Amino acid sequence: MPRRPESLLTFSPLYDSPVVGVRDYNCHIDRGGPAAEEHSADNHIVLMRHGTFCKHFGRRTETADVNQAVFFSKGSSYRVSHPADCGDRGTVFVIPPRLLTDIVRELDPTVDDHPDRPFPFVTGPCEPAAFWQHRELVRRLEAVEPLEPLWADVTALQVAADVLAAAFARHGAKRRKRPGTEADHTDRVEAAKTWLASRLGERLTLEDVAGAVHTSPFHFARIFQQRTNTPVHAYLTRLRLRAALERLGSGADDLTALALDLGFSSHSHFTDTFRREFGRSPSSVRLSASRRTLRELSKNLEV
């Protein structure tokens, strides 16, 4: 991960084995940037759990948020900016080069021609199943209970393989277009992601988002879907649901207030959408989070 002022960017090792390293990162930098140029020291994958940031390469910008997996290629240069004041937090997966090449080879047989650059993309989709599995992995790694290393290895590699497969599926299906149009569409979609990430709690229409990136609603819906494989509204809903999952995990107790705060029109709609996304109701997630808290508190009381 990038080197930014140490007091504002902290790392906590969660797990280390010969096949995978998992770290939690927490960035407290407020809105601003782009900052000074940074260089990636190794190949790693980041799955975010909160917030958003933008990676800039020359004139290109890609938005990283909880709906994306972000890929850092060793030696790549970029600058980072933060479109919102909320900071960002996530999980870093570091996989040894030979093992990473083995995983990628199944998706891209030409990887042996460029083993130092296994990622031909910067971001890729993070599907609900992968996001959930990653969240469970972090939860269990953070818990005080002992963990089976085999389970952690398999789960971490599975998450990495899943997001890589999704990224290759998206980027491998690229069609040829005029370079100018291609760049213009990318810019608009990335700008829309940034715009959405800083407005989770607002009631937005397709016209609002399209207007923010200066295009017609119909055309914008089309290019957004083409580039993300997700309709605009579904994308925003996922941002909201993943924010909700984090807040439930950190003790949010009023579901109605949480739903309204995240821009859902009603608690009922929030519950319904949450269950469809994660297969569990918000209250059951909150219950398991509070039981965990109680276990940890009682453990602290033990002498």
As measured in angstroms, the least distance from the Cβ of 277 to DNA is 9
Sheet holding 60-64, edge to edge: 38-39, 77-81, 53-57, 60-64
Of the listed pieces 7-15, 18-26, 212-220, 293-301, which binds DNA according to CB under 7 A?
212-220
How many angstroms separate the CA atoms of 151 and 136, rounded?
Answer: 12
Q: Say whether residue 233 binds DNA (CB under 7 A).
A: yes
Which residues ranging from 245 to 284 are in contact with DNA (CB under 7 A)? 253-256, 264-269, 271-273, 275-276, 281-284
Task: Give the DSSP H/E element, type plus range, for residue 103.
Answer: helix 97-105
How many angstroms separate the CA atoms of 213 and 215, rounded?
Answer: 6
CA-based nearest residue to 107, from 167, 197, 175: 167
Contacts for 14 with CB less than 8 Å, ≥ 6 apart: 22, 23, 24, 91, 138, 141, 142
Give the β-pairing of 44-51 and 9-16. Answer: unpaired
Q: What is the SS3 assignment for 266?
A: coil
Mark 146-185 with x for binding to DNA (rule: CB under 7 A) and - for no binding: -------------------------------xx--x--xx
Of the listed pieces 21-29, 140-148, 149-157, 199-207, which binds DNA according to CB under 7 A?
199-207
Of the listed pieces 12-20, 63-71, 109-117, 222-230, which binds DNA according to CB under 7 A?
222-230
Q: Say whether residue 288 binds DNA (CB under 7 A).
A: no
As measured in angstroms, the least distance from the Cβ of 297 to DNA is 21
As measured in angstroms, the least distance from the Cβ of 230 to DNA is 8
| 149 vs 231, beta carbon nearer DNA | 231
Which residues ranging from 43 to 82 are in contact with DNA (CB under 7 A)? none
| 24 vs 65, beta carbon nearer DNA | 65
| 61 vs 273, beta carbon nearer DNA | 273
Contacts for 289 with CB less than 8 Å, ≥ 6 apart: 248, 249, 250, 251
Please check whether residue 65 is in contact with residue 55, taking contact to mean a CB–CB distance below 8 angstroms. Answer: no
How many angstroms separate the CA atoms of 68 and 119, rounded?
Answer: 14
As measured in angstroms, the least distance from the Cβ of 243 to DNA is 15
Question: Residue from 49, 190, 237, 244 that binds DNA (CB under 7 A)?
Answer: 237
Which residues bind to DNA, rule: CB under 7 A?
177-178, 181, 184-185, 205-207, 215-219, 221-223, 225, 231-234, 237, 253-256, 264-269, 271-273, 275-276, 281-284
